[in-house]
Structure 1
């Protein structure tokens, strides 16, 4: 069973090598790796090209933002499973994709998700936040739950059946897509109880109170576009659930060698 992994990057020369190394170093042997560059001018293109045929498909051209580039990558994908790894992020050890694919086989699920740690952008040994997703329960989205999108691996057929990222959703496009796949269309999930992705801190939606309020409005729109009705507290429970992530500690061995 083949997996397509997609990295979207724009002027990411500072960190993209960490990301690529974590993919090409995976022990799973049936990986199609797609890199979609938005027309970088900082040396990113040369870095990606230096990996030669270890990058299965590479395109560098202007796009309409992050989610447009992700959609482009999904359109290029030929694998049974699709995963997205942002250019600032990386897999914590070489067996991540093997573990993900084993769970797909064992559970016969539509999507696999796991846990995430956020780290300092420069000192990646310094953990700033631990997102333990936990097991999914029916209607969990109504209580503010969602899996971390970078840990979300999906059968390609779900994109074909239920659509790609909505470009009008801006920073909430990943939330809307998971709401659509999981809550609306009842995709069967399997939880991999381990840290799947290490993320460098600096997300747009949580960068300020104004951004958080804007993201809350976009979250509300996500429910409306899918003709779904949240509870009154749903959209505030979502950011409130994140508070505990700043005080939780990840497993000591999550970055095994």
Structure 2
């Protein structure tokens, strides 16, 4: 059973080097490695060339965005399963990728693990994902592409990642695959990769774009749920504002709202 690991990169030489080194050291695990660079102008291409003998395929050329680059990787891949470990993210040093690949034999369309989240302040924690994510879960969250093995055929049949979206196409695939396409999936309660909070979807300035693209996708794809979804998100915003209000913070501080779990 063949695995294709795909890394996309644009002008992130330091992150790319970290990512490549974490993957090529696992070569005995048996997988192909594809690197798609968006015609970087920093030293990214030099880093790729230094590891070229351990990279199955690489290219450096202009693209139209994140998902255009990811789709290029899918088209070059030959593995039954795909794993996206994009520039800056890593496979953890103590990982035995061979044993993880063996677990793909169970054959689900999506097999996902927990994920180590590394914050910009140097702290890190393990994020645990649910065994049975539902629509309500995806209204607020997603699955970790850095820790999810996806059957290549499923993504191809889906029509690849939407290049019309700039930031939410991987989320759209996951919610569609599980909530409407009846893909088989499995959660494994272990961790093998690290996601660093410094990418485009982690940037606060991109949160509004992410929310807009999610809202539009739900409105178009799940019209029967759209009213419920909008109501839920509005109430969530109201609760967040209440939680952050000065009066509530003061009452909690002096111990008068210990019962209120906000």
Q: TM-score category by the smaller chain?
A: 0.7 to 0.9
Asked whether the 8 Å contact 1:116–1:151 carries over to 2, the reply is yes
Q: 1:95 to 1:207 in 2, by over 3 A?
A: closer
Report the counterpart of residue 218 of structure 1 in structure 2.
213
Q: 1:205 to 1:43 in 2, by over 3 A?
A: closer
Q: 1:237 to 1:27 in 2, by over 3 A?
A: farther
Report the counterpart of residue 24 of structure 1 in structure 2.
24
How far 1:141 moved relative to its partner? 3.9
Report the counterpart of residue 170 of structure 2 in structure 1.
174
Report the counterpart of residue 81 of structure 2 in structure 1.
81
**1:196 counterpart (182, 186, 192):** 192
Aligned-residue CA RMSD (Å): 2.7
Asked whether the 8 Å contact 1:135–1:191 carries over to 2, the reply is yes
Asked whether the 8 Å contact 1:22–1:92 carries over to 2, the reply is yes
Unaligned runs of 5+ in 1: 241-257
Query: How many pairs are equivalent?
Result: 236
Q: Distance in 2 between matches of 1:193 and 1:225?
A: 33
Report the counterpart of residue 72 of structure 1 in structure 2.
72
Asked whether the 8 Å contact 1:9–1:38 carries over to 2, the reply is yes
How far 1:83 moved relative to its partner? 0.8
Report the counterpart of residue 128 of structure 2 in structure 1.
132
Which piece of structure 1 moves more, 16-25 or 141-150? 141-150
Please list, as runs of the form range in 1=range in 2, the aligned pairs for 1:28-177 lying within 5 A after superposition.
Answer: 29-93=29-93, 95=95, 97-105=97-105, 107-120=106-119, 126-139=122-135, 141=137, 144-177=140-173
1:64 is paired with a residue whose SS is: coil
Q: Which has the higher contact order (CA 8 A, sep 6+)?
A: 1
| CA displacement, residues 157-202 of structure 1 (integer Å, 9 cap, x when unaligned) | 1012112111111111111111122211111111121223212222
How far 1:27 moved relative to its partner? 5.9
Q: Distance in 2 between matches of 1:53 and 1:27?
A: 11
Unaligned runs of 5+ in 2: 240-262
Q: 1:22 to 1:237 in 2, by over 3 A?
A: farther
Q: Distance in 2 between matches of 1:237 and 1:114?
A: 30
Q: Greater Rg, structure 1 or structure 2?
A: 2
| CA displacement, residues 102-147 of structure 1 (integer Å, 9 cap, x when unaligned) | 2221x321111111222245x8xx3245421131245454663521
Q: Distance in 1 between matches of 2:140 and 2:88?
A: 26
| CA displacement, residues 199-257 of structure 1 (integer Å, 9 cap, x when unaligned) | 2222434433x5323321211112234345343355579999xxxxxxxxxxxxxxxxx
Q: 1:30 to 1:191 in 2, by over 3 A?
A: same
More helix by share: 2
Q: Output the TM-score relative to the length of structure 1.
A: 0.81
Asked whether the 8 Å contact 2:30–2:98 carries over to 1, the reply is no
1:170 is paired with a residue whose SS is: coil
Q: Distance in 2 between matches of 1:191 and 1:237?
A: 30
